[in-house]
């Protein structure tokens, strides 16, 4: 999978693939920001894609 150009809308199969990848990265322990960096999208877009992938977001604050 190649990264789409920044600022281009994600639609259809491409959006589903990127959402799956974002969900996988986040589920493996990446932060939302590092996931965003890896998929070439903003923090907000990465968060939306993670949720679209059906992954539940962790509580903020990290381990204590």
> For residues 9 and 13, which has the higher predicted lDDT (pLDDT)?
13
pLDDT of residue 9: 85
User: Could you give the CA distance from residue 26 to residue 3 in angstroms, rounded to a whole number?
Assistant: 17
Of the pLDDT bands very low, low, confident and very high (cuts 50, 70, 90), residue 22 is very high
What gap in Å lies between CA 26 and CA 54, rounded to an integer?
A: 11
Give pLDDT tens digits for 24-39. Answer: 999 999 999 999 999 9
Domain ranges of the chain: 13-52
Residue 36 has a pLDDT of 97
What predicted TM-score, i.e. pTM, was given to this entire model? 0.86
Contact 51, 57 (CB under 8 A): yes
| Residues 47/32, Cβ–Cβ less than 8 Å | yes
Element (H, E) at 43: helix 43-52
pLDDT 10s digits, 51-61: 999 999 999 88
């Amino acid at each position: 999978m190649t990264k789409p150009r920044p600022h281009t809308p994600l639609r259809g199969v491409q959006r589903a693939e990127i959402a799956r990848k974002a969900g996988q990265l986040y589920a493996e322990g990446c932060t939302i920001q590092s996931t965003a960096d890896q998929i070439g999208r903003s923090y907000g877009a990465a968060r939306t894609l993670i949720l679209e992938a059906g992954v539940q977001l962790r509580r903020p604050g990290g381990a204590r």
